[in-house]
Structure 1
Amino acid sequence: MADSFRVLYVDDLEATEQAATRLREADDRLTVDGATSAHEGLERLDGDVDCIVSDYDLPETDGIDFLESVRERRPNLPFILFTDAGSEAVASEAISAGVTDYLRKDGGDNLPELVAHIVDAVETFRADEQEPGRELEAQQAKVRALHTVATRISTCDSSDAVYEAVVEAAEAILDFDIAIADAAVEDVLVPRAVSTELSVDEYFEETPIDAENNLGAEAYRTGKASVIDDLRDLDVVPADSEFRSALTVTIGDYGVFQSVDTDPGAFDEQDLEMAELLAEHARARLSQLEARQELQQRTEELQRKNERLDEFTRFVSHDLQSPLTVAQGRLELAQEDCDSEHLDDVAAAHQRMRNLIEDLLTLAREEKSATEYESVALAELVYRCWRTVETKEATLDVDVDATIQADHDRLRQLLENLLRNSVDHGGDDVTITVGELDDGFYLADDGEGIPEAERARVFESGYSTAADGTGFGLSIVKKITEAHGWDIDVTESEAGGARFEITGVEVDR
């Protein structure tokens, strides 16, 4: 059976049958059996299997869990993860679990490449079985140890602790005598941790990222790892002229890991693979720490903002409302004593102040409110809003039958403001139409419309073309659309009036 390769292909039934046929056609040395679940695949391990090819998405589990179960029973059996699903994190996890190879399906066009990987993996496996060495076991031990280190790195609470853990692992597990972890800080690489064999004085204080003769800087710029057998063959400037060989990998966008040695050819491809795995664990944790810091900063900023809004709300609702109420009471007494058109102007000014206060409080609430989605029948809500707006002689035409996902109360405020805007600016007998879009809805009128030069300003706080307008109505509308993740645009309606289009809305189909 030395010239045959017995493959267990684990995927859904259709994919398994297709792959089995195509693999046999690609290389007649392959004998392919299929399994449609990890459980079935484990049952087949007791038979003759030279290699397992598995998808990542499996019923009730995934390819990583399946791989770990296989490794418990057949530690060295070739296992190739062949999947559409994947990312750097999945690849890293698969390597940590002892995967032999990791390939993307790419629509099935790379099956010849898969065949080559199967043959290579099985031949290597058979050679190792015939001539067992301390080398394969040592490599596997390193992988397991690095997997343990990943757990430690995942608990580091600072970026410096991550870099230090990387260097310590390089010394203890990978047997790198001289290891350095640099962090990218603005436009330079700065050492964050160095091995015990190297003092900071013996290494660069910092390295410009745009340096042309530095391996670390070049690796960071290009994202490419490298193993250099002899630095004297390259036009680079090592930190110490005694350094002869170097291994360099990037830690994502966060920095660079390097190991150097005074002997030429000190590193090989296996060392590079292990260093990349270690760097990936570090990158993942640094990314988590960065996200946590950003979240904390946003939380603190939001807390400060809410405190300012609370203070503003208290000022508007109490310090402004109270004297206005007193003024309104005095006005009513004055109107009983005398009849003057000047008092009517005072009453109108009072009402305008009340409208301003109400809109300001609404804006403050919009800044703090969380959006809670539910299914909302759009037409029904439009009619309800129409009954609460002073419509004069205006006409409403509703041509929508959609149910959308929205915050009911905030959508009501949006619709009321748009309807009121059309009535206030479109004339007493304006006709307002509400209609559907593919991903939202629109509200249009046949009024005078909004000049194109002014359309970009209508959503600004305080902007209004009406003498008695507060200038906050459309600003509130803008805030509500942004809170939903929607877009709003103002154009000209078919009748020459204003047309507001709200898009990006999730419509229930």
Structure 2
Amino acid sequence: MPIRGGDELSVFYVDGDADGGSRVATSLERHDRLSVATAASADAALDRLTADVDCIVSDYELPGRDGIEFLEAVREEYPDLPFILFTAGGSEAVASDAISAGVTDYLQRDTGTEQYAALADRIVDAVEASRTRRQRRRHHTAIETAQEGISIVGADGRFQYVNDAYAELYGYDPDELLGEDWELLYPDSEVEFVRSELIPAVEAEGYWHGRTTGRRADGTTFLEDHVVSTTENSELICTVRNISGREAREQKLTRLHAATRDLIEATTVEEIATLATDAADDILDFPLNGIHRYDEAVDGLVPVSVSDSSRELLGEPPVLTDGLAWETFERGEPQVYADVREAEGVLNPDTPVRSEILLPLDDHGIFIASSTERDAFDDADVTFAKLLAANVTSALDRTAHARKLELLQERTQTLMNTSSVDATADIAVTAAHEILGADLSTFHGFVERDGQQRLEPVATTDTVDEVLDSTPEYVRSETADPVTALVWEVFDDGEPVSIHDTNEYPEFVDTTPARSAILYPIADRGVFVVTSTTPGAFSETDTKLTDILASTLRAALERVDRESLLRERTAELEAQNERLERFASIVSHDLRNPLQVAEGSLELACEGDDEGADGDTTVDDHLDNVRWALDRMDGLIEELLTLARDGDRIDDLESVDLAALSETCWRSVATAEATLVTRVDRRIRADRSRLEQLLENLFRNAVEHGGDGVTVTVGDLEDRAGFYVADDGPGIPGDERSQIFESGYSTSADGTGFGLSIVHEIVAAHDWEITVTDGADGGTRFEITGLTVAE
């Protein structure tokens, strides 16, 4: 399984006993940094051995070649690869032979399980030590090939390292100076200056450059150009040059340091490249020079800044995808050619270029300095070129990291202003592509549908559609493929997973085009998949940036949820306010008429105006008018309160017998001589109280418009999940049907205009649909569909 944070180590275990080899491999893989492949013989291991292996662990007794012969074969091809002999069949003689053959470590196998933990620790220690040695060797190689003298002075004031040039300046061998105090190389008067001025300046500024007087082993002195800088461990790095008679080089170095300050202040790749090529031309006297930047999109070295002289001699520079420059960039080691025409791998043997310095700028690109003369560059030229290249590399490192941070800050600000999940996820995967070069990135959101749990793609980079036929979705299953299983593991565990190279895991080979990945869980929302088609694409810095981006994505999604809920609640409040405004408006308007009728009729009745004998209005007539007005107001108030109080709110659904409820509602309506017919045998899921309001309003509407003898029918819709309420009254004209559900609309002089509006709101609150059409016997038929039929 992939490691969780940190660097994974690839181990090759070789054992002639297949069962034993499997047991050891399984035990070692319990260590969270080790991934183990096995082989049953030395020859099988050699056939599969590549530079990607971090350590070999081998038994001594192997079929064919024994462990020592295997070690010797490995050392011929990989002299620095850690090799641990882990055997039960060893002896002092075997141990001696192993040491002579260059074994890294020797461990006697026993029967206890503790030995595997010890072996795992030995492997980690061996690999880390090997890496440290390689790093130091690279640094020392660069230092030792430099023209100037270079030393490292520890915090205790003693030399930790000196190169040959440094020791030679003072008349010593390098070994004679190691461990000695730096004061050995300076006269007393100069020691005081170094203590009181030079060292305090370095401690304050981190850097000092000037002239000091050095003392040789024979007591003579000389004037030296001295550059001192400090490390984070309080070590002093000293660069010394004998400047007697070398003023020209002193001036060149001074100008180069000045150019370095400009490089440090540069903010773009183009600006850095231009400053570097200008410095190479003006300061180092390299008129033919240029800087090419590695571009992943073309997998080549693209010219960024090339001197005018180079363009005049060679024409427009091409993108370099092979040849000496490309090979140098891939190897990561400087190359100096006295005559490139004689070099193996030169693309154009007739090139006008003869001498050439090729200096890799780490993974940023390459610096090229050329000459039309053979053997044009001496050691000093190479040293100055390396200094310039090192400064350019540092500037590019800083710019790359600063640009990533700037982009991350921009995308973070954008993420905090999105309004939807889709937009938020899209910005995150786009940022992963832009900032981290993660060309196959996605955000998969968690959903549960049709009884299955899925991680479905919410947003993807454009490259996904170009590389894959379709964006995958990950369905939870016990028989899921390895990729799907890993994504679900990350989601369930809530811990990110990093994969350096999918080809290091047999289960992933040929299952995904991704070669490196960072899988990041986003709480219970889903998984942020940051992947690249390039192995080892993500550095430790990239992992930290991914952590920031994923955390921001999670916060943004939570914010979107909160704001969405707030918008819903705001809409509910606005709807409630609208209902209250309608209520107030209608109360103030529609209640006024029946109230005036009641007041006037009551006043006449109190005056005793009774002229019934001759056919005029009687007191009883006036009181009948009062009663009508009061009934009218009572109906208005009841329906208006229903609208104002409930609106579109729906409580819990339950199974309702539609026929029985229809009978109950019919008894609640003043139906006079009207007749109810029920032709339903279904139970439906509904809010019983609101469904009762719906039926009462439809029944009241039928009676009010159809007259005392109207027949109302409630029946099932045979072809759909629904029911109808129909009457045999006069019906509704076609041109009025679009208005009948509007609040306040009524064709009856006694109607409030709210009965059918209430019906419409109850239907909408259930997510049903209502349509109006002609009844089978004339009249009006309301059809309500989209119901859920209860068992």
TM-score range (shorter-chain normalised) is 0.3 to 0.5
TM-score for the superposition, normalised by structure 1: 0.48
Greater helix share, structure number: 1
TM-score for the superposition, normalised by structure 2: 0.32
Higher RCO structure, 1 or 2 (CA under 8 Å, sep 6+): 1
